[in-house]
A and B are shown apart, each in its own frame.
Chain A
């Protein structure tokens, strides 16, 4: 008899402990229940529906006959996804161009992402591999908006209009994120290392714009960038521009969308970088200075590597929301600033093509989930 081996008192204690653990678990689930219910009803159920739409398993028409007339799919099909993904893409680097089949494109991007994320695990040269991966991944998308033209080293185009638009959105989001990080880093650095006890007051100043509505803040940019806006009229009165010939690219262009998005999201980039920098032990800086390192060397060899997770997080904090952005382009983007998010919005509300819209929405979601999942290490702020 095994039960006799346990003295009764111990058995009671064990039983009590197990009961307590069970009770704690039950309480936990009870507390999570509202959030989980909410998630199930308002996220998972619609998601299930749009996934069905994206494979032609659902259609919007009341009968199959009407669906056939309206050109909707009536059963499981890959054709909607084929239409999105196209057959391949063209990579243009400076003058040269290279046609890449779809599978090659997917493998190439996956390889670069793996190099960027797994690089630090290598025994030697990990940082270099990782940095090279990030740069190679960013390069086809990064642009410097200079008026009506966008300066770029490389560009990725697709034969599918949807994927091409997606690449354009990635490009705009990428550029926005890079500039947001570049602008926010000195602020985060100042807050973490220079501001001293007043840092939290300054942090409040950084997030002060959020006290007004997002919509108002975007509209304010129209006042600044419009044909007779602050910038143009300023240039008129300085005599730089001739009256009646405003800089037209200032409003309703990709340039505008990027400028406004950088403004709107830079504070978000600032937060994780501030947290990461604040976590860097000042004595490590002192140790580096003591060993003879210049301030620039300390920044590049000590501060930046230690704050790298914060930098990546700052980038993603901007990139992930802006890649699906549709309000800002709608307000200040004009036709040139049209983004992937606008296409989705239009397919659902104007063209009433929910099946194509669903494909685009699921695709966008998948990309964001992939990015978040693969970089969650950085978002958790863990050590490299």
Chain B
């Protein structure tokens, strides 16, 4: 691996918090984490709360020491280096700005520690404030700024040090939805402009999909899958990923026949599901099949007559503004979500009505068990 120098590399990192005197040790917060982040990459750690994503970030920052494993920063082992001497900077969830200092002083803090002085100090602070579009607010105190502006100060305070990687701990968590959407795009733009490696922790799958080059989905202290957003969405590696990224339409079915690399699963008189067959698939194998809600059509597909077609019963029709969702029940009792953009398509349907669902074989994604 020495030929490509990664910004960050973790090898087999496990963190176990010591049990205090009131109880025994806890299960590992993170277990056997190994991943590498390239220079300039926007890398997200995504998972529900308690999945170990924040612990991973704190391990990278140096606020926590791994129980085992190594942390490498630009190829150098920093496992035992304290946060103050690690070339990474963190953007905290609640910003953690210095309330007694002006915006400019906040941004200058890291530079002053590094003994940057005079004209260089001023120009770098101004440059950082310009990068986050906060020029002109230098003399304000953090308390005089809005949440979004404080967020930018925190970003500038970290970016000004030109760290090997910027660690962001749910930085948009405290902002309202509209501002969050704006900041997502802006963060991405700042990241591209400054060519800084971002490690971004979030529990919001949409946020991760919008911004990231690659996403590591975490659950229970382990990484479930590391992939680009599109691959993660369309080819979830585990049941957890399928469920966490978007709506999971997960059905367990037995293969009835395999023809031309297609596995066909019949549901009696209610139709059949077609999926691409894997290497070891043969009649009798049980597959976990998932299909994304927006891939399901309510009319036969002209160009793929032998696609999946399943007769089901509508349980609920939910109008969502930009789309409409149907909750349908399969003969086996499983519930599927169908999302259609065109409201006209759905107009005639009401709860209790029978409906036939169609989707392409390649949209039936089989999850490795």
Contacts and interface: CB of A to CB of B under 8 A. Distances in A.
Given A283-B92, A283-B94, A286-B92, A291 B100 contact: no
A288 B109 contact: yes
Given A286-B83, A383-B100, A291 B113 contact: yes
A284 B96 CA distance: 5
Contact of A290 (B84, B94, B97, B100): B84
Interface in B291-338: none
Contact of B98 (A123, A284, A290, A294): A284
A198 to B, nearest CB: 11
Contact of A297 (B63, B90, B113): B113
Contacts, number: 63
B61 A290 contact: yes
B85 interface: yes
B286 to A, nearest CB: 49
A290 B99 contact: no
B110 interface: yes
B342 interface: no
Contacts of B82: 289
Contacts of A289: 63, 82-84
Interface string A261-297: 0000000000000000000010110111111111001
A306 B110 contact: no
Contacts of A302: 98
Contacts of A288: 98, 109
B113 A287 contact: no
A246 interface: no
Nearest to B100: A305
A10 B110 CA distance: 60
Contacts of A331: none
Interface residues of A, number: 20
A292 B98 CA distance: 14
B89 interface: yes
Interface string B83-115: 111001110101011111000000001100110
Interface in B69-84: 82-84
Interface in B138-197: 139, 143, 157-158, 161
B363 to A, nearest CB: 45
A283 B96 contact: yes
Contacts of B161: 291-292
B157 to A, nearest CB: 7
B84 A294 contact: yes
A383 B157 CA distance: 22
A292 B100 contact: no
B151 to A, nearest CB: 14
Contact of A123 (B94, B99, B139, B143): B139
A292 B84 contact: yes
B109 A293 contact: yes
Interface residues of B, number: 25
Nearest to A127: B100
A290 B109 contact: no
A384 interface: yes
A159 B126 CA distance: 57
A382 B105 CA distance: 21
B90 A287 contact: yes
A283 B110 CA distance: 16
B99 A306 contact: yes
Contacts of A283: 92, 94, 96
Nearest to B89: A290
Interface string B344-355: 000000000000
B100 A287 contact: no
A305 B89 CA distance: 23
B113 A383 contact: no
A286 B158 CA distance: 13
A383 B100 CA distance: 8
Contacts of B157: 287, 291
A293 B113 contact: yes
Contacts of A290: 61, 63, 83-84, 88-90
Nearest to B86: A290
A291 B110 CA distance: 5
Interface in A72-127: 123
Contacts of A293: 84, 109, 113
Interface string A290-315: 11111001000110011000000000
Contact of B114 (A286, A292, A306, A383): A292
Contact of B96 (A281, A297, A384): A281
A292 B114 CA distance: 8
A302 B99 CA distance: 9
A170 B63 CA distance: 46
Contacts of A294: 84
Contacts of B110: 291-292
B165 to A, nearest CB: 12
Nearest to A298: B84
Nearest to B82: A289
Interface in A8-51: none
A286 B89 CA distance: 11
Q: Which of A283, A291, A302, A383 gathers the greatest number of chain B CB atoms within 10 Å?
A: A291
B99 to A, nearest CB: 7
7 contacts: A281-B94, A283-B94, A289-B82, A291-B161, A292-B85, A292-B110, A306-B100
* Nearest 8 A/B pairs, CB to CB: A291-B110, A283-B96, A287-B96, A292-B113, A305-B100, A290-B90, A289-B83, A292-B84
Given A286-B96, A291-B113, A306-B100, 10 more contacts: A281-B94, A283-B92, A283-B94, A292-B113, A292-B161, A297-B113, A301-B109, A302-B98, A305-B100, A383-B143
